[in-house]
Amino acid sequence: MLLGILKESDDRRVAISPESVKKFKDKFEVKVETGAGANAQFSDKDYTAAGAEATDRKTVLSTADLVFSIDPINQEEAQSLKPGAILICQFAPFNDDKLTVFLAEKGITAFSLDMVPRTTLAQSMDVLSSMASIAGYRAVLKATDFLPRYMPMLTTAAGTIPPAKVLILGAGVAGLQAIATARRLGAVVEAFDTRAASKEEVESLGAKFVEVEGATDDKAAGGYAVEQSDDYKKKQAALIADKAEKADIVITTALLRGRPAPTLVPKTTLDRMKAGSVVIDMASVTGGNCEVTKDKETVVYNGVSVVGHSNLSEEVAQHASILYGKNIENYLKLLWNEQGELDFENEIVAKSCITHNKENYYAKNA
């Protein structure tokens, strides 16, 4: 069976690193698109030394039995896949299912790694968690690029500099890593989350948990925030505004799967923040948690830098690619049953499949 690795068109990462190719070479023949790992500092020589063949994109698409990328290929390229080929990437069908419908019509089997259930059994193949952890780390470092102040407390001959105050909105995987990173840099950290279960994790990392009573805590939301009542939103907005006013850095991570991100930092809150403060909005791809956020842009509002970036993991491209590849390694261990057939009896495989045999599995499971 031939495994194909594609170069990303707008991402520094690569789906499978040379380290993972070494694990695959006994089970698969591997072809990688020339230059696929260049932006993650993996050369074609690294891949060939690991056992892969570097070739052009057209050859990978037309000959591979398993085609891997991070972002989906376009419809034209999908039509060039060999009959019976399996396409595996992150389709985000909950944001846009047009490609899913097309793949089903064309009879292409596709699995979406971002649809892997976020359960204990699936942790080793959860690309969203792997990338969110890196993004949370990078969000804090990104904020320091804009902050005109120190992070740690410093005592000097000229006087004492107080530590920066960081507010994290959303204490999922990304938020927790942001807390840990900000604490390591010496900041005083507060964190807010609608999920009461987050309190213990936040406090274990040395941050103060900001709690608003009356939250709807949906344990079945797969790690995502859930919609809250109007009364709760009012109390939440008032408390966040008070905390943001004193903060030097605000990092927002709240996503609602399949819906626009909730607005947690409106203009009225930005108006109260100190000049020179920074907002890193990690939910910018679905509208953002800040009212003025623009995806992949930095907006300066009333002296506050608002950075919209939903793919911070690509800025740590090498390690992100290695972890992504390890997630794929673990995923492929489950993909087929003992008879060599796709194992749809396995919940992880079934829920991550979006098209097969001209059926739209995503539409059936949504």
Tokens matching residue 294: 């623009």
Q: How far apart are CA 275 and CA 192, in angstroms?
A: 23
> Considering 150, 224, 232, 301, which one is annotated as catalytic?
224
Q: 321 and 241 share a domain?
A: no
pLDDT score for 96: 75
Give me the torsion for CA of 355, 218, 334, 25, rounded to 10°: 90
Q: 257 and 111 share a domain?
A: no
Tokens matching residue 137: 């780390």
> Considering 69, 112, 129, 236, which one is annotated as catalytic?
129
Alpha carbon distances (Å) from 230 to 10, 234, 253: 38, 6, 20
Looking at 315, 332, 351, the residue that finishes a domain is 315
Q: Residue 328 is part of a domain; what is its CATH number?
A: 3.40.50.720
Q: How far apart are CA 216 and CA 206, in angstroms?
A: 25
Q: 41 and 114 share a domain?
A: yes
Q: 104 and 136 share a domain?
A: no
Q: 244 and 355 share a domain?
A: no
pLDDT score for 50: 97
Phi and psi of 125, rounded to 5°? -125, 15
pLDDT per residue as tens digits for the range 47-93: 999 999 999 999 999 999 999 999 999 999 998 999 889 999 999 88
> Considering 9, 123, 204, 229, which one is annotated as catalytic?
123
Per the structure, the count of domains in the chain is 2
13 tagged catalytic: no
- The sheet with strand 249-252 has its strands ordered as 208-210, 188-192, 165-169, 249-252, 278-281, 304-308, 298-301
321 tagged catalytic: no
Tokens matching residue 233: 């939103």
- Spatial CA neighbour of 129 closest among 345, 342, 340, 320: 320
Q: 311 and 321 share a domain?
A: no
pLDDT score for 219: 57
Q: 36 and 183 share a domain?
A: no
Q: Is the pTM for the entire model greater than 0.75?
A: yes
331 tagged catalytic: no
| Neighbouring residues of 296: CB distance < 8 A, sequence distance ≥ 6 | 284, 308, 309
pLDDT score for 217: 58
Q: How far apart are CA 195 and CA 262, in angstroms?
A: 15
Give the count of alpha carbons within 13 A of 78, CB side only.
23
Give the count of alpha carbons within 13 A of 121, CB side only.
8
Q: Are 154 and 180 contacting, i.e. CB atoms less than 8 angstroms apart? A: no
Q: 304 and 216 share a domain?
A: yes
177 tagged catalytic: no
Q: 240 and 173 share a domain?
A: yes
Phi and psi of 342, rounded to 5°? -60, 130
Which residue stretches of the chain have pLDDT < 70?
215-228, 364-366
pLDDT score for 246: 97
pLDDT per residue as tens digits for the range 113-149: 999 998 899 999 999 999 999 999 999 999 999 999 9
> Considering 57, 118, 183, 272, which one is annotated as catalytic?
118
Looking at 315, 338, 353, the residue that finishes a domain is 315
Q: 155 and 120 share a domain?
A: no
Pairing state of beta strands 208-210 and 165-169? unpaired
- Spatial CA neighbour of 332 closest among 20, 19, 7: 20
Q: 90 and 202 share a domain?
A: no
Q: Are 299 and 278 contacting, i.e. CB atoms less than 8 angstroms apart? A: no
Q: 301 and 345 share a domain?
A: no
Domain of 93, in residue numbers: 2-125+317-365
Q: How far apart are CA 301 and CA 279, in angstroms?
A: 10
123 tagged catalytic: yes
